[in-house]
Amino acid sequence: MGEMFDITSARDAEFHMHTYARKQVMFVSGLGTRLYDDEGREYLDLVSGIGSVNLGHAHPAVAEAVARQMSRLVHVSNLYHVEHRTELAEELSALLGGGFKAFFCNSGAEACEGSIKLARRWGKANKGPEAVRIVTAERSFHGRTMAALAATGQPSKQEAFEPLPPGFVHVPFNDIDALDAVLDDTVCAVMLEVVQGEGGVYPADPAYLEAVRTLCDERAVLLVLDEVQSGFWRTGHAFAHQAYGIEPDVVALAKSLANGLPAGAVVARAEVADAFAPGDHGSTFGGTPLICAAARATIAALQAERLGENAIAVGAHLRAGLESLVACSDDVVEVRGTGLMLAAQLREPVAARVVDAGLAHGFVLNNIGAHTLRFLPPLACTATEADALCDILPTILAEVAE
């Protein structure tokens, strides 16, 4: 660790609220799948800023778009028309198959909050004043703001902040009967992650998601998909639900929308989106020309570089490599996920120590809880890089076991 790390880490506790237990490293630059610390040491990044830099670090197309827009116009607010915002909304609609309208915000939690508000507004207008409840899944994660936290299906993250906004019902994920039992006239929306990310990388079963769509149609309930983590070709498709052949009514987006710049969006089918009227919802910073320029450059580059195809191919390769660890040792007991959104379940509760040991070997890893390693590399990750990870993991696991 360099001097810059020493000075910065020593002052962390004095000047920051203690909401994160930071790792013993300080990154100062990045390029593609690589990160560099304050001493110039190179690391292979398997986290992508928690799935937010799908295009890789310091991508020249995004850097250029931001630099150009930065010296032209950064922000005037949503009171005015600006460049890039409408173009981005049209591009997102096209990626979803057309007929969608966007509201831009700044983060995943805000995208979920906006989706919740839209669903309530739609429910009251279309079903009646009682239709305000939102059903979400146990183990889900929708963000840290109060309504997004209430939607989140993880009591450990909620209890300290009660009372939470009412009107949320949690049911077991991938259990259609449990959903069927709660979808009455007081429900306006079902909100699900297509692949539960923070909960441990659990994809929805295809038959489940299809049945959810059918049930929502039958009961006149909106299907809101939280693709904050699974979107932007992370699983191979522009959005993870596209592998399931179903269409959502509302999609919450953020993370990789602008390749690491703060950006979020609520994107809804036009008839649903039209439930919002002027004054219903807003954001000072959402949809600035700067962020929208970055998002457009991100989406264009992800498509031009065919990184969805790479996510499928290298994701399958990495998955096979991780599964071979299950076969040849009993340290790894299960591999889950799809595309380049994968997890390895460990037998022992050593995942955090594996992450720390990974840094010493030049690998930026991530754990969810004590037993789960999650892999979210930039989508340009190569088969060789996936092999490097699978080659080092047994060494790291052995070190940690000692």
Among 53, 95, 112, 116, binds ligand PLP (CB under 6 A): 112
109 versus 297: smaller Cβ distance to ligand PLP: 109
CA distance 132 to 116: 9
255 versus 317: smaller Cβ distance to ligand PLP: 255
Bridge partners of 265, per DSSP, are 104, 253
Q: How far is the CB of 284 from ligand PLP (least distance, A)?
A: 17
Q: How far is the CB of 137 from ligand PLP (least distance, A)?
A: 11
Bridge partners of 105, per DSSP, are 264
Q: Which of 265, 249, 252, 261 is nearest to 226 (CA)?
A: 252
Catalytic residue among 103, 104, 141, 276: 141
Q: Respond yes or no: is residue 124 known to be catalytic.
A: no
> Which pair of tokens denotes residue 213?
């769509």
Interface stretch with ligand PLP, choices 165-173, 192-200, 233-241, 324-332 (CB under 6 A): 192-200
Q: How far is the CB of 143 from ligand PLP (least distance, A)?
A: 4
Among 88, 189, 228, 396, binds ligand PLP (CB under 6 A): 228
DSSP H or E segment with residue 105: strand 100-105
CA distance 102 to 133: 23
Q: How far is the CB of 108 from ligand PLP (least distance, A)?
A: 2
**Size, binding site for ligand PLP by CB under 6 A:** 15
Query: Based on C-alpha coordinates, what's the Rg of the chain?
Result: 21
Among 48, 54, 93, 107, binds ligand PLP (CB under 6 A): 107
Reduced to 3 states (helix: H, G, I; strand: E, B; else coil), residue 208 is: helix
| Cα dihedral across residues 223, 224, 228, 229: positive or negative | negative
Q: Is 229 in the site for ligand PLP (CB under 6 A)?
A: yes
Output phi, psi for 100, to 5 deg. Answer: -110, 150
> Which pair of tokens denotes residue 55?
């295009």
CA distance 36 to 41: 5
Q: Respond yes or no: is residue 226 known to be catalytic.
A: yes
Cα 344 to chain centroid, rounded: 18
CA distance 241 to 205: 11
Q: Respond yes or no: is residue 239 known to be catalytic.
A: no
* String marking each residue 125-154 x if it binds ligand PLP according to CB under 6 A: ----------------xxx-----------
153 versus 315: smaller Cβ distance to ligand PLP: 153
Where residue 85 falls (left for φ over 0; alpha for ψ -120 to 50; beta otherwise) is alpha
107 versus 372: smaller Cβ distance to ligand PLP: 107
Q: Is 193 in the site for ligand PLP (CB under 6 A)?
A: yes
**Would you please indicate which residues are annotated as catalytic (active-site) residues?**
141, 226, 255
Residues making contact with ligand PLP (CB under 6 A): 50, 107-109, 112, 141-143, 193, 197-198, 226, 228-229, 254
